[in-house]
Amino acid sequence: MVPRFFSLTPVASSLRIARPLLGSASSISFLRPSAALSLPPSSLVVRKMSTFKQEPHKLLVIPGPIEVSDDVLYANAYPPLAHTSPEFIPIFGDCIRMIRDVVYTTTGQPFLIAGSGTLGWDQVASNLIEPGENALLLNSGYFGDSFTECLRAYGANVDEIRASFGKAVTQAELEQALKKKAYKLVCFTHVDTSTAVLSDAQMVGETVRRISPNSLVVLDGVCSVASEEIQMDAWAIDVVLTASQKGLGRSSWPQHRCSEPEGPPGSR
């Protein structure tokens, strides 16, 4: 069989959205109730949608964006909601709580922002380091190169420890670098999508905390959040950045970042 490209056009998609919304009360029950229905915030929940099926399409077999389930796709069939409306508050609150759960933090502050994973690098480079300050990048593949490039574009002075192909940076290499120089940031790609190398996030967090407690540890989790374990609080990771189109399994492009509000001990 010849594979077909995804054929749900924007027009077909909006028709699918319109039908249940304009239909009877029973068809509306497939969706979160709209603000216009004046239901209490507690009823703003995603209802299980049993009949919606996305059209046959060419299977996406890449690290991301990944296939999205029918329920998740259908949950997007929801009228725009004002971000300043009372109905938005519990939904946003749920999103924040759930992101905290995914990365095992009780103190991290999630930021949910429209953009791709690259915007996470940009947020880090533009907010957490000043031109001329030092950053250390543990490079285990192509996405490490790009993170470095982004930090340098903002004027950071970046040193890289480049692991050999297919390997992660070792604890001994990290310790040696931290003893030589003070770094504002220590950044690493948790899973580098280009090489599939998984770095030991616990080792990185704990080593930095022990040797260089004033450095902020930044984990690029675009390819690992909701796929690999990340114990943000327990492992002393200060920033986790990610995007929605991989492990979180929804369509692009909300981008998520979770930061410890206080920074590491002694960083203020």
Ligand X SMILES: Cc1ncc(COP(=O)(O)O)c(C=O)c1O
Judged by the rule CB under 6 A, the positions of this chain that interact with ligand X are: 64, 116-118, 143, 189, 192-193, 220, 222-223, 243
Beta-strand runs (E) in the chain: 109-114, 134-139, 157-162, 185-189, 191-192, 197-198, 216-220, 239-243, 254-259
Q: Which residue is nearest to ligand X (CB)?
A: 117
What span, in angstroms and rounded, lies between the C-alpha atoms of 157 and 127? 15
| Nearest-approach distance from CB 9 to ligand X, in angstroms | 24
| Nearest-approach distance from CB 49 to ligand X, in angstroms | 27
| Nearest-approach distance from CB 201 to ligand X, in angstroms | 13
| Nearest-approach distance from CB 268 to ligand X, in angstroms | 29
Between 82 and 114, whose beta carbon lies closer to ligand X? 114
What span, in angstroms and rounded, lies between the C-alpha atoms of 110 and 33? 26
Helices 142-153 and 117-127: crossing angle in degrees, nearest 10, is: 40
What span, in angstroms and rounded, lies between the C-alpha atoms of 236 and 203? 10
Torsion angle of the four alpha carbons 27, 254, 195, 122, in this order, in degrees rounded to the nearest 10: 180
Between 118 and 157, whose beta carbon lies closer to ligand X? 118
Between 32 and 256, whose beta carbon lies closer to ligand X? 256
| Nearest-approach distance from CB 113 to ligand X, in angstroms | 12
CA contacts within 13 A on the Cβ side of 23:
12
Between 116 and 157, whose beta carbon lies closer to ligand X? 116
Between 215 and 244, whose beta carbon lies closer to ligand X? 244
Helices 171-180 and 201-211: crossing angle in degrees, nearest 10, is: 30
